[in-house]
Amino acid sequence: MINMPEWQRCLDAQFGSPKPGQYRAQPEDFWVDEQLDFSPEAHGEHLWLRVEKRNQTTLDVVNTLSRLCGVTPRDIGYSGMKDRIAVTRQWLSVHLPGRDAPTELEQSLNALGITVVEQARHPRKLKRGVHRTNRFVLRLSGEAIESEDFVSRWEALCQHGVPNYFGPQRFGPEGRNLQRAEALLNRGWRKRDDRQGMMLSTARSFLFNELLSARIADGTWSQPLAGDTLMLDGTQSVFRIDASDHTLQARAAELDVHPTGVLWGVGEADQGDAAGYEARLLEHYPGLCSGLQRSGVKQARRALRMRLLEPQYAWESGAARLSFSLPRGSFATAVLGELMLAN
């Protein structure tokens, strides 16, 4: 079993040493708006609520709605988990067949710091991962923004994309979720021990970040390699290539396609030059890799790079105000990490 200092060394290597700076001095410094690409149909058994919350997790809101509406948490749907120390907007659904919401629902939610922005009926429960993007507006201050290269770093991210790391919050305080995940996988993963699949996700996220770090070190994280699986920008569509050529290199430079990394599980390994990175994961972390395969989770792919959508920045009151959208599953903290890395 890998000890805690070794896990911490790996996490430190993934995320680098940040310059001093603040981006969550108060919840209003970190604003998130979840974006769907469709609207509720205005009829059906499920009440959809678009809510704004502050200093609360998504599961806090789920539990509150469960109590106020007299339903179980299983009757409540949401697409993505949103940060606690932030002001966030997102949709949730409540299964209320044949009945209206409690008369005082909005007032009760307001008293608890949750505002209903919109509501409508829909025939189906809101499912995980159906939102298209998240829009972020972040306020960053401190030494990080005082560097002479801050603006050039930001412009480089806008032009060339951002390493698509899973954020450090995925791994828990001081990375302790990694130890929990390893222990669970070593004794044999069971759903009853990990009902939300968080430990599987933690292990897969760590391995992905390690692969991404290795390709950044080699300078290949944004360039297709022979045997790579590429993802079309803005979609989850992937295709494997036998060899890289000038056309694929040009498409990658234009952010039209991105190399991907494995989310470890049961499935085919990469081939060619790209295969070596997965082989190194298996060599260095055999317990995690074999444990994930024994769990039966299916292999998936994640882009190594994310593109900032509609990026903007401005200076206000000694701070940088950044706004951009990211595809679902990408972390704004990964963007901030690149801006705050020490030279």
Phi, psi (deg, nearest 5) at residue 306: -120, 150
What's 299's DSSP letter? P
Separation CA 241–CA 264 (nearest Å) = 20
Separation CA 121–CA 41 (nearest Å) = 7
Place of tokens 């056309």: 247
40 in Cβ contact with 126 (< 8 Å): no
SS3 322: strand
CA distances from residue 181 to 88, 161, 288 in whole angstroms, order as listed: 29, 30, 8
* Pair of tokens at residue 52: 């704004």
Rg (CA), the chain: 21
Active-site residue flag, 83: yes
CA distances from residue 303 to 11, 146, 174, 231 in whole angstroms, order as listed: 19, 31, 26, 6
Instruction: Check 33, 75, 83, 194 and give the catalytic one.
Output: 83
Q: Which residues, in sequence order, are CB contacts of 315 under 8 Å at separation 6+?
A: 321
Place of tokens 């669970």: 184
- Chain centroid to Cα 181, Å, comes to 18
Separation CA 218–CA 220 (nearest Å) = 5
Write out the catalytic residue numbers: 83
